[in-house]
Structure 1
Amino acid sequence: MKPWSVVVLLAVLGMLGRELRAQETDLKNWYSDPFFALSEGFADCQVPLGPFMTRTEMEDDAHYRVERGTTCWLAHKCTKPNSYMYDAPIAEAIHAHFPNPHAFDGTSVWITVQRRFVYAEGCAPASFDVHALQQQLEAIPDVEQVFMRVSTTAHGPLPYKTLAAPNASLADPTN
């Protein structure tokens, strides 16, 4: 092997290593799970992690996700063969149910829909009726369960994981 080819080979291997390390920290919504802001009016409220994960996390979760998705159908609790097939229509129904953009003024609440589960995460003043929002989300057709993770402060520990993780960047936020 010629000396210059060794240098080229080492350079290529170095670039591939950097690319692989970047994939380990880049976050992406690999499964295109619905994730959107219901409101964004609470100052300094951190955006939830939602459905974003690294490639490694996605690969680790793939088999488990298939099992969780088909369990609903196998148990005769779903008419669709996979419970994740309900997620986009549930997200559309949530958008349709809350058409007033000022209904949640003063709050920052993001919605994630996964496997007929709805996660409402964010910040709201203590006067905000979290229970009423939960009841409205539970009334959406095909919703199996609602998880409310809403804090009255944007500072201190939050009841949800955030996108503001060290050494992580958001890859393709539209996905």
Structure 2
Amino acid sequence: MKLWLVATLQVSLLMLSVSLHAQGQELKNWYNDPFFALSQGFADCPVPLGPLTTRAQMEDDAHYRVERGTTCWLAHKCTKPNSYLYDAPIADAIRAHFADAHRFDGASIWITVQRRFVYAEGCAPRSFDRHALQQQLEAIPDVEQVFMRIGTDIRGPLPYKTLAAPDAPVGDPASGSNDAPATQE
């Protein structure tokens, strides 16, 4: 009986410790950066991590965000005092421009907008015209830069961090490591 009680207490303490640790590692969109799906037509494509970070990562990033956000204005390249103020209107313009749901048949693409940078992440068949998507995103007013992180094979390393495995290695889209034909199991 005593052994059962000790084992139960140990398991309870372990569960409490894991729970407290997990609470400290909560992933959250602390800065409310725009993050949304343009399409979800590629079966089993992992959802990108997007702008989700832990509290520690957020605190680490705070100074950088303030500095980078105001640099644009100080350099007279922006009319708004912080480049992050452009993000919501950019996201709205992207949603409006890509409102046709059939445009991305067979692809799952999520968009993150941070500091006038647009990140397109997800999965698409090899035949998907990534360059055309990039050009259209770059043509959105106030977009400074576009990063394309679209994989073709969900079985290999993807070119972006995922919500399911945020600490897993990221494949390099330029290395060809993810150029296998698209597979949807």
What residue is the counterpart of 2:81 in the other structure?
81
**Alpha-carbon distance, 1:19 to partner:** 6.7
User: Does 2:54 align with 1:54?
Assistant: yes
User: Does 2:41 align with 1:41?
Assistant: yes
Change (3 A) 1:126 1:166: closer
**8 A contact 2:122–2:149 mirrored in 1:** yes
Paired residues for 1:130-145 under 5 Å: 130-145=130-145
- How large is the RMSD of aligned CA atoms in angstroms? 2.0
What residue is the counterpart of 1:165 in the other structure?
165
- The size of the alignment, in residue pairs, is 154
The normalised TM-score by structure 2 is 0.78
**8 A contact 2:49–2:166 mirrored in 1:** no
**Alpha-carbon distance, 1:24 to partner:** 2.5
**8 A contact 1:23–1:55 mirrored in 2:** no
Of 70-79 and 19-28, the range deviating more from structure 2? 19-28
Q: Within 2, Cα distance between the matches of 1:99 and 1:64?
A: 33
SS state of the match for residue 135, structure 2?
A: helix
The one-character-per-residue Cα deviations of 1:69-100 (angstroms, maximum 9, x if unpaired) are 00100111100000000000000000110111
SS state of the match for residue 120, structure 1?
A: strand
What residue is the counterpart of 1:122 in the other structure?
122
Where in structure 1 are there 5+ consecutive unaligned residues?
Answer: 1-15, 168-175
How many percent identity over aligned positions? Answer: 80
Q: Within 1, Cα distance between the matches of 2:24 and 2:164?
A: 16
**Alpha-carbon distance, 1:143 to partner:** 0.1
